[in-house]
Structure 1
Amino acid sequence: MTSTDRRAALRVGAGLVAGGAFAGACSTSGSAFGPSSGPSSGTSPGSPSPSSPGPASSTSSTSSASPAAARPAPAPRAFPGQPAQISHGPRDRPRVALTFHGQGEPAFAEALLGEAERHGARVTVLAVGTWLDAHPALARRILDGGHDLGNHTHRHLDINAMSEAEARGEIEECARRLQRLTGSVGTWFRPSRTSRASPLVQRLARAAGYPHVLSYDVDSLDFTSPGAPAVTANVLREVRDGSVVSLHFGYADTLAALPAVLDELARRGLRAVTTTELLS
């Protein structure tokens, strides 16, 4: 992405935010999820889901990539020695993981991914199921860029406050979308509207095929729209070897802050990698 392209992306981002087009924020391969089983969005957990996501809106990405047309995405892995709920990686290696909550206008996602790739960085995207329904091509775009793609529940609601059946449905519905679009349930699960999963949600995530829940130790607070300098400062003040940083698609401040964050990480000798690489 050239400097001209970045300025254009920032102008697009500012226009989207001014128009209110941004997302609300969050304060194992052995999956049996078929493409047409389980609950659909807005139904009870026992209701059947449609065989494919509903038609995308006029602003959505192009049609979904077929798992048969590309190599299947990596499956979740267990990392021996790591806890069930991971908030950071090893503290003795100069690596950090920038993790993005996947929701919001696709223009932000494309611009943020492009900026990361220009810096040689790889990130982790935890996608919301309804976002994947609206913009299915972004799943393959994320993977083709060398990034991690994971599960951030289906509707991005307060999963810790749900009943067991509701929480299970939120996890499994998003897993089904990922399975259908990529051939895998995704490499990670992160709970929605909370930094840490309850014991119940941890158990349900493991049953859905995710050996670990992915939390974080650095919160950018970008979802509060504090301005790009504040987002940059929030990250750089706390980040260190092994950190997992929480960021969001859908905010102009995040897009504006990312180049400065990546430049300073490089100056400090910290390499931005996927969460899988961070822990490997």
Structure 2
Amino acid sequence: MWPLVLLLAPLPWGEKDTPAKPLPHQDLRALHLTLPGVVRAVYLDNGYVEAAHVVLEAETRSPERLLRLAQRGAEEAWRARPSLDEVDLSVYGAPYRGPEDLPLFTASVPKPLAPAFFALKAPEGYERLWLNPGKTTRYPSEPVLEDHPALDGPEAFRARERANQILQSRVGVKGSLLYHGDPTRPFTALTFDDAPHPLFTPLLLDLLKRLGLKATFFVIGRNAEAYPYFVRDMVAAGHELGNHTYHHVRLPKLPTQEIRRELLLCNEVLRAITGQVPKYFRPPGGRYSPAVLKVAEELGLTTVFWTDDPGDYAGLPTSILERRLEAHLRPGGIVLLHDNVVGTLEVLPLFARKAKARGLALGTVGGLLAKR
């Protein structure tokens, strides 16, 4: 009986955890800056506006010198490409070891605010910057990409979870786990993982505004810590925030107290930035276990999975992403995309039109669970 039932189930799952997939290489257009300390300078557009991200390394820890370095980076970026609508900056300690470290300083400079940013003499009085107060990370972020939920636990647990997935696809949400919304209601949740990102997030928020869409962003706590202004932008635009842990690590391998710490740290960062604690949680890579679900439930979090993951992180052509999204589009579905992928920006307008043509509204997880 089970094999037949599972074949009929419309939702993906994994029997056990699988090796992490490497993060894809994305070919972004480079800005050629002459400023010493430039690690990387790239730019991207969403079809309407252009943004750049300049990564710098600095020997100094002086707030004023970090600010001046960032100002010079922004000046050179606009000199190299005057058409930019925004320049975002991340300054790390030298030598730059990669994004596993928290930056020393970050700033977001939309063109209308550029005069105010360049006029600063000290890193204060400008809401779109962050000066690291001395925080460090406990774990490096892991390249855990969400392709399908992966269950780590005994066979009885895995069988129960598979049954829950099938049941929800027929009747809607059950308990503190969300695999599928009400299948009789023409509404699909639109979710983005791994936010915020200093190049992609402003472009994605601009695109969602143009499309008239609201979404749920599953936020990595350490990213939110370093780029709090993007988190505030999400809330101001009417989007919803979810917990994606603080460090973005595989949770099943951690002791229960560390699982709890990952979720609590992310909750606290988001509460400090927005005044609100998230209601929803998505485990990095979809990797979870009985302990992970228990901790999330004890913290009052609903664990949210997905029905539709086109693999935007894999660098696939837009036509393939569009076909995959459309193939799994359904009432009560949950779409998983990523905040930091070029393909997401390219396919989103096409997908929004497909959903509208089918009579499906796209919106937040909270909207998916709202009673009629």
Structure 2 length as normaliser, TM-score?
Answer: 0.55
* Separation in structure 2 between the aligned mates of residue 58 and residue 276 of structure 1, nearest angstrom: 31
Which has the greater radius of gyration? 2
- How far 1:63 sits from its partner (Å)? 4.1
C-alpha deviation, 1:246, in angstroms: 0.7
* Pair 1:62 & 2:128 matched: yes
CA distance in 2, matches of 1:150, 1:82: 19
State the 1:111 CA deviation.
Answer: 1.6
User: Residues 201 and 340 of structure 2 are in contact (CA less than 8 Å); yes or no, is this contact kept in structure 1?
Assistant: yes
Taking the TM superposition and a 5 Å limit, the aligned residue runs for 1:115-264 are 115-194=207-286, 197-210=288-301, 212-264=302-354
Q: 3-state SS of the aligned residue for 2:242?
A: strand
Please give the alpha-carbon distance, in whole angstroms, between the structure 2 residues aligned to 1:192 and 1:270. 28
Distance 1:279 1:167 in 2: 26
Residue aligning to 1:106: 198
Q: Is the 8 A contact 1:97 1:123 kept in 2?
A: yes
Aligned AA (2:327):
R
The answer as to 2:91 corresponding to 1:91 is: no
Per residue, is there more strand in 1 or in 2?
A: 2
**Percent of paired sites with the same residue:** 28
Higher RCO structure, 1 or 2 (CA under 8 Å, sep 6+): 1
Residues 214 and 364 in structure 2, CA contact (< 8 A), matched pair in contact too: yes
Superposed CA offset, 1:179-236 (max 9, x none): 1111122131111122x532111111122231x2111111121111212222222211
Query: Is the Cα–Cα contact under 8 Å of residues 159 and 193 in structure 1 kept in the other structure?
Result: no
CA contact (8 A) 2:180 2:333 kept: yes
Q: 5+ residue gaps in structure 1? A: 17-52, 65-79
* Contiguous gaps of at least 5 residues in structure 2: 1-44, 55-101, 110-126, 131-171
Distance 1:193 1:251 in 2: 16
Q: Which moved more, 1:143-152 or 1:81-90?
A: 81-90
Q: Are the aligned partners of 1:221 and 1:231 in contact in 2 as well (CA < 8 Å)?
A: yes
Give the 3 Å change call, closer, same or farther, for CA 136–104 of structure 1 in structure 2. closer
The code of the aligned residue for 2:319 comes to P
Displacement after TM superposition at 1:58 (Å): 5.1
1:117 CA drift (Å): 2.1
163 and 181 in structure 1: CA distance in 2 versus 1, 3 angstrom threshold? same
Corresponding residue number in structure 2 for 1:271? 361
Partner-residue secondary structure (3-state), 2:193:
strand
Change (3 A) 1:58 1:111: closer
Counterpart in the other structure of 1:7: 47
What RMSD in Å do the two structures reach over aligned CA positions? Answer: 2.5
Decide whether the 8 Å contact of 1:96 with 1:270 is kept in 2.
yes
Query: TM-score by structure 1 length?
Result: 0.72
Name the aligned partner's letter for residue 106 of structure 2: S
Note if contact 2:173-2:179 (Cα within 8 Å) is conserved in structure 1: no
Offset of residue 166 of structure 1: 1.6
Distance 2:210 2:107 in 1: 29
Report the AA paired with residue 176 of structure 2: A
Structure 2 CA distance for partners of 1:175 and 1:57, relative to 1, 3 Å: same
After superposing on structure 2, the runs of 4+ consecutive aligned residues of structure 1 that deviate more than 6 Å are none
SS at match of 1:153: coil
